[in-house]
């Protein structure tokens, strides 16, 4: 039981006033303690939410990393909106490999007149390749050529049959690695810079024409030529994808040059 201690030198009113002041101070301390407790609880909730978010991001990353990659992911690639696999060279070596090892007689080969451009191949898989897929492959051939870095909006893209592509050079000429001679009629096709990057249902990172990426990806971002370096744009892309990818994986699928996010 609490005892009430009075100061006999003071009147009852003065003692009452003292206790009233003490009560006010005590109440203020209690209020301050309650506020501090609420702030601590709020901070703990925020830290818990942050922890859960980081754990979820790490889980997504581990799922993406643990996915078994397809053989064609070593090249540039995308699935067209008509579900045809389209392969592209990254450099002279991969150009050589694609044409020599991964091109069949019923496929279509695309290239540009611009030096250093990649070869792209539409895999027919015993089906007739529609014009829409050829158009998407032409856009990809342009986009992943030097046209992107030079700020051009299109390029001289053409397509031919595989039997028109050969390592047999003209008399007195020499073909370097990744270079081929094209014989016969070349079919030039309208094209444009056209790029999006997305994550497929199987958690693969796919970069290609917007129509194709939109069809096959659960999340995607459209890109244009801009002023941002690839390292910076990769961070922004990854942020929009909930930080579930490795930056190197994003950078690897993009063309050489600078960027901006357009949608």
In degrees to the nearest 10, what's the CA dihedral of 100, 105, 108, 109? 30
Residue 154, pLDDT score = 96
Q: Among 12-21, 159-168, 174-183, name the one with the lowest average pLDDT.
A: 12-21
Task: Give the predicted TM-score (pTM) of the model.
Answer: 0.75
Gap between the Cα atoms of 104 and 129, Å rounded: 13
Gap between the Cα atoms of 260 and 144, Å rounded: 16
- In a 10 Å sphere around its CB, with 0-12 CB exposed, 13-18 middle and 19+ buried, how is residue 61 labelled? middle
Structure token digits, residue 119: 């070869």
Percent of the chain whose predicted confidence (pLDDT) is above 90: 63
Which own/partner contact pairs does 125-134 have at CB distance under 8 Å and 24+ positions apart?
A: 125/84, 125/85, 127/84, 129/84, 130/82, 132/80, 132/81, 132/82, 132/211, 133/80, 133/81, 133/82, 133/84, 133/86, 134/108, 134/110, 134/159, 134/189
* Bridge partners of residue 120, in order along the sequence: 88, 110
Task: List, for residues 18-70, the tens digit of each pLDDT value.
Answer: 777 787 888 888 887 777 777 777 876 877 777 666 655 555 555 555 678 99
Q: Indicate if the pLDDT at residue 11 is higher than 70.
A: yes
For the chain, report the end-to-end CA distance as a whole number of angstroms.
71
Residue 60, pLDDT score = 56
Q: Indicate if the pLDDT at residue 156 is higher than 60.
A: yes
Nearest residue to 167 (alpha-carbon basis) of 85, 96, 236, 61? 96
Task: List, for residues 71-108, the tens digit of each pLDDT value.
Answer: 999 999 999 999 999 999 999 999 999 999 999 999 99
Residue 2, pLDDT score = 58
Query: Whose structure tokens read 């999006």?
Result: 196
Gap between the Cα atoms of 62 and 4, Å rounded: 66
Q: Indicate if the pLDDT at residue 10 is higher than 90.
A: no
Residue 58, pLDDT score = 55
């Amino acid at each position: 039981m609490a005892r009430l201690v009075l100061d006999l030198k003071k009147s009852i009113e003065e003692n009452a006033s003292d206790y009233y002041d003490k009560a006010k101070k005590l109440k203020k301390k209690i209020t301050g303690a309650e506020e501090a407790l609420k702030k601590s609880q709020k901070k703990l909730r925020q830290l818990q939410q942050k922890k859960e978010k980081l754990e979820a991001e790490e889980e997504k990353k581990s799922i993406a990393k643990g996915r078994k990659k397809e053989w064609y992911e070593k090249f540039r690639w995308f699935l067209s909106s008509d579900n045809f696999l389209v392969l592209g060279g990254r450099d002279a070596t991969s150009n050589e490999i694609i044409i020599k090892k991964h091109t069949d007689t019923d496929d279509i080969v695309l290239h540009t007149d611009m030096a250093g451009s990649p070869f792209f191949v539409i895999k027919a898989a015993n089906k007739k390749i529609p014009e829409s897929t050829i158009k998407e492959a032409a856009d990809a051939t342009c986009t992943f050529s030097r046209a992107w870095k030079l700020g051009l909006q299109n390029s001289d893209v053409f397509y031919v049959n595989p039997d028109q592509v050969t390592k047999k050079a003209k008399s007195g000429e020499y073909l370097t690695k990744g270079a081929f001679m094209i014989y016969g009629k070349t079919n030039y096709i309208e094209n444009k810079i056209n790029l999006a990057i997305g994550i497929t249902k199987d958690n693969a990172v796919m970069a290609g024409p917007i129509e194709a990426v939109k069809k096959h990806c659960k999340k995607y971002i459209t890109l244009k030529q801009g002023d941002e370096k690839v390292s910076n744009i990769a961070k922004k892309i990854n942020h929009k994808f909930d930080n579930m990818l490795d930056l190197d994986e994003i950078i690897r699928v993009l063309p050489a040059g600078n960027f901006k996010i357009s949608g």
